[in-house]
Amino acid sequence: MNFDINSAREARLDTPPPPTVLRLLSYNIQAAIGTSSYHHYVTRSWRHLLPDWRGLQRLGYIAQVLNHYDLVCLQEVDGGSLRSGFVNQVEYLAEQARFDYWYQQLNRDLGRFGQYSNGVLSRFVPYEIEDHKLPGLKGRGAIVAKYGNERDTLVLVGLHLALSERARFRQLGYIRELIQHHEHVVVMGDMNCRSDQIIDTPLRDTHLKQVSGDHHTYPSWNPTRNIDHILVSPSLKINQVKVLDYDYSDHRPIAMEVALPEGLAAALQPAAKQV
């Protein structure tokens, strides 16, 4: 099923030149709850249900991080419930970080007590957005955004995978079917597994690349696990990848810069600038 993406601001008038690089970011923000120690999972557990006045402040800090990137995939975002002060955090971050397009995928609807979501923020105009519920227990999903045109297409997949290895295998098999016929692909999100474990999943058949080395993102206060990942097609040259030193969530954000092939760069449609 296809969905329209939301415009975070009014339409603009002049169009910037096509990009030569893309700045990518994946961030599990834990609904801006602010866990920064293991004991906070107990002492701050009330923040999963009730609003905290510092939540908007943390969202503001997160927006400052996101502002430096072109395509952002978010996990554990609240779509507007009691715990977030009924703020749609995807929309709020898009406005604060000055993204022109945003999309929220609601994966677990607990009404006023929780709107558990994934999100995509974009500085480019997508021509198609697909919302996919992943196999397994309810509550896991993937957003598939397509940029460019049918000849030169960039496929962005933002996802949050299950904790169970068996469920992740099925979910990544589902993702493989979505992307296997596309040349330019970015898959990023909280995959709940190490980079070496991804090799033993159906993604091994897609030729997606990840940077070697330890890019630990969890827990944010003492990262020892690399469970947040950005994988890209061989057509996208990786310039750099790094984990950012921020503790606004129990995960740290992971960032990547990739160089674009000429044809794809020309096909991407940046949002027009205001005059």
Residue 228 included in any domain: yes
Count of domains for the chain: 1
Tokens, residue 17: 């030149």
Residue 272 included in any domain: no
**pLDDT score at 210:** 87
Query: In angstroms, how far is CA 51 from the centroid of its own chain?
Result: 24
Residue 273 included in any domain: no
Residue 215 included in any domain: yes
3-state SS record for the chain = CEECCEECCCCCCECCCCCCEEEEEEEECHHHCCCCCCCHHHHCHHHHCCCCCCHHHHHHHHHHHHCCCCEEEEEEEECCCHHHCCCCHHHHHHHHCCCCEEEEEEEEECHHHCEEEEEEEECECEEEEEEEECCCCCCCEEEEEEEECCCCEEEEEEEECCCCHHHHHHHHHHHHHHHCCCCEEEEEEECCCCHHHHCCCHHHHCCCECCCCCCCCECCCCCCECCEEEEECCCCEEEEEEECCCCCCCCCCEEEEEECCHHHHHHCCECCECC
Residue 242 included in any domain: yes
Q: pLDDT by residue for the chain (275 residues), tens digit each? A: 444 567 665 545 566 777 899 999 999 999 998 887 888 888 777 677 777 878 899 999 999 999 999 999 999 999 998 888 899 999 999 999 999 999 999 999 888 988 999 999 999 999 999 999 999 888 899 999 999 998 999 999 999 999 999 999 999 999 999 999 999 999 999 999 999 899 889 998 888 998 877 899 999 999 999 999 999 999 999 999 999 999 999 999 999 999 999 999 999 988 765 44
**pLDDT score at 2:** 42
Which CATH number covers residue 237? 3.60.10.10
Per the CB < 8 A criterion, the answer to whether 130 and 161 are in contact is no
Residue 40 included in any domain: yes
Residue 239 included in any domain: yes
Residue 141: count of CB within 10 angstroms of its CB:
21
Residue 274 included in any domain: no
Contacts of 105 (CB under 8 A, 6+ apart): 117, 118, 119, 131, 141, 142, 143
| 203 φ/ψ angles, rounded to the nearest 5 degrees | -65, -15
Domain carrying residue 209? 2-267
